[in-house]
Copies of this chain bind each other. A is one copy, B any other.
Amino acid sequence: MAGELSGGDLSRLRQLNALAVIKALQGGPSLTLTEVAKRTGLSRASTEDVVRELLHKGWVAEAGATAGGVGRPARRYRFRAEAGRVLGIDIGGHKIRAVVADLDGAVLHSARVPVTPEMGRVERLEAVDRAAAECLEGAGLSGGDVWASGVGTTGLVDGAGRVMLSEALPEWTGVDLAAHVRRMAPGPVLVENDSKLAALAECWRGVARYAKDMVFLLAGLRTGAGLVIDGKLHRGFANASGEIGALPVLGWIRAQEHLSAASGEAGDVFAAARAGDKAAAAAVRRYVKDLALGASALVLALDPQMVVIGGGFSRSADVLIEPLRRELDRWCIRTPEVRMSALGGEGVVLGAVRLALDDVEERVLDGRTPLVSHL
């Protein structure tokens, strides 16, 4: 006997159960009730009840039944990823990237608008609008069809979607990105720092899917970090975690300079180092030494299971990863697994999609799930 449960207890429990069933069906093949019960740990009766409710609300649909074994084939259920749409935007120094995804996070349409690091606020925001509009149009949607938008940007972002501080982009400090994007897509808009979103993407779709504690390094024209602790993105008290680069002794401020000193564009240095150019190889070594200092501070602080290198330079894994491991070995008590991101330039925008989906799922948990149309 657990005693009588109050209405509040029951409703919270039902929401948790609904989310567990959605998670079991999301992104996978259709399942029978027995399979759903097994994956969620819910009783058969609870599972039946929750699936009935989700069918009614349009989150779940019946899939074709499969024969097999004796007797009547069991009914199968699938998550209706097509029930809603989310928008993801990555605002970088060199490009704006926008994607429309379904509720499984599958990208349906994407757009890319080139920008420059020198561009001012108005021009960059216009480029954001262009990328988003192109993407929505391509997917045959209007802004009102978007359930939630996720936006990644360089700089520190506050809880309300405003850029608190950007050192990389002129006129970017103070821009209210949430308000700007909401004009086009009136649903909830979540804004987050790009390194944090790329970290989120690695845990969702990348090489860190099974890591509970992970340090993500954004290695590119800027160096940044995103931390995943106990399976959750660690934002910090004022959303300013991972900013180890501000401490000069940890090398990130000067890391990039070694590469630009050796060549006009960083890509060239890695190619030259790969081809055996001694000056280029020395520049890469100096870069790795500085990258590793800040990375070692993060590793020593957190003792993560894994370090993931993403960002533009992750394409040069072959010349970066071994020297980086050696430098980490030099400073760390325990060097964690070091892996290169396989998401390449898509990490931030995928993280933005994940951010938007998290918001949608929170609404399932709050019981504020929309009653979606049965298309």
- A298 in the interface, Cβ–Cβ < 8 Å? yes
Q: Which of B14, B47, B229, B303 contacts A230 (CB 8 A)?
A: B229
A227→B58 CA distance, assembly (Å): 44
Contact with B along A266-293 (1 / 0, CB 8 A): 0000000000000000000000000001
| A3 contacts partner chain B, Cβ-Cβ < 8 Å | yes
Q: Which residues of B contact A212 (CB under 8 A)?
A: 237
Q: Restricting to A304-329, which residues have a CB under 8 Å from any CB of B?
A: 304-305
Interface band, chain A: 35 or more
Name the interface residues of A207-239: CB closer than 8 Å to any CB of B: 212-213, 225, 227, 229-230, 232, 234-239
Question: Which chain B residues border A213 with CB–CB below 8 Å?
Answer: 236-237
Q: Is A301 an interface residue (CB 8 A)?
A: yes
State the number of copies, please: 2
Judge whether A244 and B300 touch: CB under 8 Å.
yes
Evaluate contact between A46 and B301: CB separation under 8 angstroms. Answer: no
Within 8 A of B (CB), among A130-150: none
- Give the shortest distance, in Å, between A249 (CB) and chain B (any CB): 4
Q: Is A242 interfacial (CB 8 A cutoff)?
A: yes
Quote the shortest CB–CB distance from A338 to chain B (angstroms).
13
Q: Please judge, given known A-B contacts A230-B232, A236-B213, whether A46 and B296 are in contact too, CB under 8 Å.
A: no
Q: Are A17 and B42 in contact (CB under 8 A)?
A: no
B43 close to A4 (CB less than 8 A): yes
Q: Does A371 contact B (CB under 8 A)?
A: no
**Bound-complex Cα distance A45 to B45 (A):** 24
Of the candidates B47, B242, B302, which one forms a contact with A236 in the assembled complex, judged by CB atoms under 8 Å apart? Answer: B302
CB < 8 Å neighbour of A237 from B1, B227, B245, B305: B305
A156 within 8 A of B: yes
Q: Which residues of B contact A303 (CB under 8 A)?
A: 235-241, 243
Distance between A280 CB and nearest chain B CB, rounded to angstroms: 26
Please name 18 pairs of A and B residues whose Cβ atoms are closer than 8 Å in the assembled complex, sorted by A: A2-B14, A3-B48, A4-B46, A4-B49, A8-B43, A9-B46, A13-B13, A156-B333, A236-B302, A236-B303, A237-B305, A240-B303, A240-B333, A241-B301, A243-B303, A246-B300, A249-B249, A249-B293
Partner-B contacts on A (CB < 8 A): 1-6, 8-10, 13-14, 17, 41-50, 156, 165, 212-213, 225, 227, 229-230, 232, 234-247, 249-250, 293, 296-298, 300-305, 331-334, 336
